[in-house]
Amino acid sequence: MHQEIKTTPSGDMVINVGPQHPSTHGVLHLLITLNGETIVNLDPNIGYIHRSIEKMCESLSYRQFIYTTSRMDYLSSHMNNHACALTVEKGLQIEVPERAEVIRVIISELTRLASHQLWWGSMAMDLGALSPFFYAFREREMITDIMEETCGARLTMNYVVPGGVMMDLHPDFQKKVKAFIVQFKSKIGEYHDLVTGNIIFQNRTKGIGMLSKEDAISYGVTGPAARGSGLSCDIRKLYPYATYQKLQFNEILETAGDSFARYMVRMREMEESVSIIEQLIDNIPEGEFQAKTKAVLKLPKGEFYTRIETARGELGVYLVSEGGTTPYRIKFRSPGFSNLSALNHMIKGHKMGDLVAVMGTLDLVIPDIDR
Amino acid sequence: MENDALLNSLQTSFPDAACAIGSDWPEIDIDGSDLLTLIQKLRYDEQWTFDYLFCETCVDWKTHFTMVYHLSSTKHRHSVVLKAKLDHDKPQIESLVGFYKTADMLEREVYDLMGIEFLNHPDLRRLLLTEDWVGYPLRKDYEDPINMIRL
């Protein structure tokens, strides 16, 4: 079928990437202006998977609305739920039992590991290496199995309730997590051998998609993408929630600001997550896994804001309550949305082929951007 | 700066604006027309350096709109909330794109879903919905012809 090629007045070609494209991993439409093979401008066109979760939440109760957020950033579903539960708990001043907090942190870090592993596999796949995907899924499968046994779902988990977690851990939990840690630690070297040290991979990511620290702040970029530019922005360190202040872990910072730096941040972050889980897995306190709460939750009149660190960056939950049983207004400050806004700045002047490397290291999840 | 010290410094510097401690951070209630002068000071004054706009949104109160800006400083690690009251019939406010690049897409989203007009925004188009969409879905008086919740 013949299709006319669109051009700008200056003769640059305008092409569409998406809304269905293998490297966007979702329905993201990019309108790209090309001069030869060099990208002159990139205009993200989003909204293909917009479900208006914020509006939906206005008619759901404080117990129900938490679970719509599993469908935002589906790879950080547990962390999204955690953020919402923390907001409700802040409003009602519920004291969460320590056992529940520790369980939440362990599951959060397992989710982060699973998310980073999927990212690693799919990013390598986007750059032309198919096998890392299967290596990543070998370990990720162990985590999803643990999740399935713990809360019944492999991806969009609904494990958090206001006041704690939905049910207690199953008896095999510790054994299985330990088995995963042993497996992961013995295989992380393989990850580096396969991809990190690969000269083709390094050539395609080093010096590509530069983002300075100042621009990262101005664009509101957070998470591993910003830490690759040397911006300290780990909410777990800066504004600790749950039990993070009692734990020993490092905030991973790289200063180069290119795609390779962002890649390295995530790779090293996985090791930190494993170290957090190791600190907690043998020290899960005994006791209740859920605080006693009323059947119908009513938040007092006011505004509540929670910031947490998901696998992609800073998630903010801004909740306005009028004293009723449903939120008056909810805004989710999603990390992917702000990270995407920097893409045009990062990709300008690069070749078309570099787009995949830059998008890969931004780790965009489209339902998180659209909400 | 701690919240109390921050509130004090804000109150002495902006005697006209209403400052108070909110649920987490100090809040400044302003008139929409003062926004740019205030942001100029908050962004570039050494004692504050609010260089990171981490959330920008709008609340529909049926009689008026409130624009809510959450600002943070990556240098001093303190945060502040700005609130500007807007008219319900003709909601307009200055854009912050000149100060924070992230405001570009955040404001387009608010324009799309709430119908707030941002003055001097370089590229104010609908973001999530199509250009010919009628109405602003996040407003309280918006009626969806197919309301899944009430079906």
For chain A, what is the domain count?
1
- CA dist A84 and A69 (Å) reads 8
Q: Which of A336, A42, A51 is nearest to B129 (CA)?
A: A51
Give residues 17 to 56 of B whose Cβ lies within 8 Å of A.
22-25, 51-55
Global pTM reads 0.88
**Cβ separation of A215 and B101 shorter than 8 Å?**
yes
CATH number of the domain enclosing A280? 1.10.645.10
B23, B61, B126, B142: best to mutate for the A interface, most A CBs within 10 A: B23
Query: In Å, how far are A37, A248, B90 from A93, measured between CA atoms?
Result: 56, 27, 38
Find out whether A8 and A346 touch, Cβ atoms under 8 Å. Answer: no
Closest residue to B138, CB basis, from A47, A54, A345: A54
Query: How high is the pLDDT of residue A1?
Result: 46
Query: How high is the pLDDT of residue A363?
Result: 86
Query: In Å, how far are B54, B88, B91, B106 from B68, measured between CA atoms?
Result: 11, 15, 14, 12
Could you give the 3-state DSSP secondary structure of residue A212?
A: coil
- CA dist A371 and A50 (Å) reads 5
Phi, psi angle pair for A132, to nearest 5°: -55, -30
Q: What ipTM score was computed for the predicted complex, to two decimals?
A: 0.88
Structure tokens given for A229:
């530019």
Residues of B in contact with A55 (CB under 8 A): 137-138
Instruction: Tell me if chain B has a CB within 8 Å of the CB of A212.
Output: no
In a domain, A322, yes or no: yes
pLDDT tens for B139-150 read 888 887 777 666
- CA dist A14 and A5 (Å) reads 8
Q: What is the mean pLDDT of residues B35-46?
A: 85
Distance from CA of B87 to the nearest CA of A (A): 18
**Which structural domain, as residue segments, surrounds residue A81?**
6-370
Query: In Å, how far are A206, A317, B100 from A69, measured between CA atoms?
Result: 35, 10, 27
Q: How many CB pairs under 8 A join A and B?
A: 80
Q: At what angle do helices A259-281 and A98-126 cross, to 10 degrees?
A: 150
Distance from CA of A219 to the nearest CA of B (A): 4
Residues of A in contact with B100 (CB under 8 A): 218, 220
Query: How high is the pLDDT of residue A28?
Result: 87
Could you give the 3-state DSSP secondary structure of residue B86?
A: strand
Query: How high is the pLDDT of residue B23?
Result: 76
- Residue A355 CA, chain-centre distance (Å), reads 20
Instruction: Tell me if chain B has a CB within 8 Å of the CB of A74.
Output: no
Cα Rg of chain A (Å, integer) = 21
pLDDT tens for A145-157 read 999 988 888 888 8
Query: How high is the pLDDT of residue A2?
Result: 55
In a domain, A336, yes or no: yes
Which H or E run contains A344?
Answer: helix A343-347
Instruction: Tell me if chain A has a CB within 8 Å of the CB of B107.
Output: no
- CA dist A357 and A134 (Å) reads 19
Consecutive sets of 10 residues in chain A, 371 residues long: mean pLDDT of each? 68 81 80 89 88 87 88 88 91 89 91 91 87 89 90 86 88 90 89 88 88 90 90 88 87 88 91 90 87 85 90 91 89 90 89 87 88 82
* Average pLDDT of chain B to the nearest whole number: 85
Find out whether A308 and A79 touch, Cβ atoms under 8 Å. Answer: yes
Instruction: Tell me if chain A has a CB within 8 Å of the CB of B105.
Output: yes
In a domain, A21, yes or no: yes
Query: How high is the pLDDT of residue A20?
Result: 76
Q: Which of A200, A196, A176 is nearest to A188 (CA)?
A: A196
In eight-state DSSP terms, residue A1 is: -
- CA dist A332 and A330 (Å) reads 7
Phi, psi angle pair for A356, to nearest 5°: -65, -40
Q: What is the DSSP string of B27-42?
A: EEEEEGGGHHHHHHHH
In a domain, A59, yes or no: yes
B55, B62, B139, B140: best to mutate for the A interface, most A CBs within 10 A: B55
In a domain, A294, yes or no: yes
In a domain, A152, yes or no: yes
Could you give the 3-state DSSP secondary structure of residue A13?
A: strand
In a domain, A171, yes or no: yes
Residues of A in contact with B24 (CB under 8 A): 304-305
Q: Using CB atoms within 10 A of its CB, is residue B47 exposed (0-12), middle (13-18) or buried (19+)?
A: middle
Residues of A in contact with B60 (CB under 8 A): 329
Structure tokens given for B116:
């707030």
* Residues facing residue B64 across a β-bridge: B87
Which H or E run contains B9?
Answer: helix B3-13
Instruction: Tell me if chain A has a CB within 8 Å of the CB of B8.
Output: no
Among A133-147, A341-355, B18-32, B106-120, name the one with the lowest average pLDDT.
Answer: B18-32
Which residues have CB under 8 Å from A285's CB, separation 6+? A98, A99, A102
Q: What is the mean pLDDT of residues B71-84?
A: 88
**Cβ separation of B51 and A305 shorter than 8 Å?**
no
Query: How high is the pLDDT of residue A171?
Result: 87
**Cβ separation of A219 and B102 shorter than 8 Å?**
yes
Q: Which of A19, A70, A79 is nearest to A49 (CA)?
A: A19
- CA dist A60 and B151 (Å) reads 15
Q: What is the mean pLDDT of residues B44-65?
A: 88
**Cβ separation of A231 and B138 shorter than 8 Å?**
no
- CA dist A195 and A120 (Å) reads 9
Residue with tokens 């609130």: B83
Find out whether A265 and A227 touch, Cβ atoms under 8 Å. Answer: yes
**Cβ separation of B24 and A50 shorter than 8 Å?**
no
Query: How high is the pLDDT of residue B151?
Result: 57
Distance from CA of A237 to the nearest CA of B (A): 12
Query: How high is the pLDDT of residue A83?
Result: 92
In a domain, A1, yes or no: no
Find out whether A76 and A84 touch, Cβ atoms under 8 Å. Answer: no
Q: What is the DSSP string of A23-73?
A: GGTBS-EEEEEEETTEEEEEEEE--TT---HHHHHTTS-TTTHHHHGGGTS
